[in-house]
Chain A
Amino acid sequence: MSMREPTFLTLVALAGGRAHGYALLREIEVISGGRVRLQVGSMYAVLDRLVGERLIALDGEEWMSGRLRRYFVLTDTGQRALKADTDRLEANVHAARQRLGRRSRPVTQP
């Protein structure tokens, strides 16, 4: 089963290193080129689920200017899952490019 985009992007964002909630939100926006802008409640639902599945884990908390920052990190299981989904997407993209390339070639007249 393939991952949904918010899940995939969250794992990609964490593949770059530990991050707290707001940093993740910004990173997801950057990675998706501004296309995916998660709501905070939705992102926490994704994080909640990913922690439950052991794909990511809590990696400390700290108070900054009166706000609690909770850090997350990609686990080995998460890394494997991300790699598997990346490979799958890559294969799909490769197949798509091949076929699009064939389509764009000029058709030879008989």
Chain B
Amino acid sequence: MNEGRVVKGRVVGVAEERYRLLLIAYPADWRRRHGDALLGVLLDRAEAEQRSAPTLREVVDLMIRGLAVRVSDVMSAPLRRRVASISTGLGAGFALVYVALFIAPDSWGNRYSVPQSGPTLVLVAWLLLVAVVLLRLPVLWRALTLAGVVVAAVLPFGQGVDVEQGRFFVVSAWVRPDNGNAAFLVGLAVLAAGPIDRTLMLRTAVIAVVVFALGFVLVAGWRDPYDQTLWAAVDHGPGATPGTLQTLWGGGAGACRRHRISRRSTSCSGTGRKARCFGSIWSRSERSPPRSWPAVP
């Protein structure tokens, strides 16, 4: 713990250097106000446990918390919770329908085989994330969310080209999503990295399954997934569905928020309990804190 180098006339230990590097996850302004205090606690604990390196749990925790602070700069805590719940629900609905397409029997007119490639891996991972949320395993959920953001972000960059087939692959037998869908997945994964309201997530997933299923059947038809049409979620085909749904939801939620709909209010659209804005039900404890910490009066 004592070895280190001199920075600005002060000996900086190895542990401090490592922890300072992790604090980059937080915005610069936040680091200026709280960085030293947070670092002090991290170093106190590391010293008590005779460590000079952060643990994996600390790394994941700081990454997620830093990301959350960055997101909260542009999005309030209640809104982030709602967006994370809806995004996870949307992803789960999309994944469920997609996976269902592959396991549907031939007698239903299904002509897909179960793929060992990109779409299934990504979408099954999404279902795993939902299971972790439902089973209340926060550490695993954070790790999966972080991993999901990273994987989704590198998807578009890892492609190779199979000239013979004329298709793009990250590795052999990996079908990459098209750019529109990659952007959709990255966006969804980033938005999903927040506190989740399980009820809202499940409601969204149920509605998403219905909407996506209808989208696939009525709009896209039973297409070959390897032509990337099924992978496309934004640009065309059924892709219009999640985008439209998200826009409608976001607009509705924003309207509800402006009208300060509370848990006990009748509705946000005059249709009673069910239209309670799907999560504009916030407790006092969920409101965003101010950006500075006032001292005791």
Q: Does A79 contact B (CB under 8 A)?
A: no
- Contact call A40/B10, Cβ cutoff below 8 A: no
- Contact call B44/A67, Cβ cutoff below 8 A: yes
Cα-based distance from A25 to B230 in the complex (angstroms):
49
Cα-based distance from A20 to B40 in the complex (angstroms):
10
- Contact call A21/B296, Cβ cutoff below 8 A: no
A44 is contacted by which of B41, B64, B287, B294 (Cβ under 8 Å)? B41
- Contact call A22/B41, Cβ cutoff below 8 A: yes
- Given A45-B68, A66-B10, A68-B40; A40-B45 close (CB under 8 Å): yes
A41-53 near B? 1/0 per residue, CB < 8 Å: 1111100111111
Q: Does A1 contact B (CB under 8 A)?
A: yes
Q: Which residues of A contact B (CB under 8 A)?
A: 1, 3-4, 7, 20-22, 25, 39-45, 48-53, 57-61, 66-70, 73, 75
- Given A1-B283, A41-B58, A58-B296; A53-B289 close (CB under 8 Å): yes
Q: Does B66 contact A (CB under 8 A)?
A: yes
Report the interface size for chain B: residues with CB under 8 A from the other chain.
Answer: 34
- Contact call A57/B10, Cβ cutoff below 8 A: no
B289 is contacted by which of A4, A52, A69 (Cβ under 8 Å)? A52
Of B31-39, B184-192, B249-257, which stretch is located at the interface?
Answer: B31-39
A53 is contacted by which of B38, B41, B64, B284 (Cβ under 8 Å)? B284
For the complex of A and B, the 5 pairs showing the least CB-CB separation, nearest first, are: A52-B289, A1-B283, A41-B65, A67-B40, A21-B41
B62-99 near A? 1/0 per residue, CB < 8 Å: 10111010000000010000000000000000000000
Residues of chain B contacted by A4 (CB below 8 angstroms): 285
- Contact call A21/B37, Cβ cutoff below 8 A: yes
- Given A44-B65, A45-B65; A69-B38 close (CB under 8 Å): no
Number of A-B contacts (CB under 8 A): 93
Residues of chain B contacted by A66 (CB below 8 angstroms): 10
Cα-based distance from A68 to B43 in the complex (angstroms):
10
- Contact call B37/A68, Cβ cutoff below 8 A: yes
- Contact call A41/B61, Cβ cutoff below 8 A: yes
- Contact call B293/A40, Cβ cutoff below 8 A: no
- Contact call B296/A57, Cβ cutoff below 8 A: yes
CB distance from B62 to the nearest CB of A (A): 5
Cα-based distance from A21 to B39 in the complex (angstroms):
10
Cα-based distance from A94 to B39 in the complex (angstroms):
42
Cα-based distance from A20 to B48 in the complex (angstroms):
15
B42 is contacted by which of A40, A50, A57, A73 (Cβ under 8 Å)? A40
* Extra A-B contacts (19), CB below 8 Å, given A40-B38, A41-B38: A22-B41, A22-B48, A39-B61, A40-B41, A40-B45, A40-B61, A41-B62, A41-B66, A45-B68, A48-B34, A49-B289, A51-B289, A57-B297, A58-B294, A59-B296, A67-B36, A67-B40, A69-B40, A73-B296
CB distance from B65 to the nearest CB of A (A): 4
CB distance from A75 to the nearest CB of B (A): 7
Most chain B CB neighbours (cut-off 10 Å) among A4, A20, A25, A70: A70
- Contact call B288/A21, Cβ cutoff below 8 A: no
Cα-based distance from A22 to B49 in the complex (angstroms):
13
Cα-based distance from A45 to B284 in the complex (angstroms):
16
Residues of chain A contacted by B37 (CB below 8 angstroms): 21, 44, 61, 68-70
CB distance from A50 to the nearest CB of B (A): 8
Q: Which residue of B lies closest to A68 (CB)?
A: B36
21 A–B contacts, CB within 8 A, in A order: A4-B285, A21-B37, A22-B44, A22-B48, A25-B41, A39-B61, A40-B41, A40-B45, A41-B61, A41-B62, A41-B64, A41-B65, A44-B38, A45-B68, A52-B288, A57-B295, A67-B36, A67-B40, A68-B39, A69-B37, A69-B40
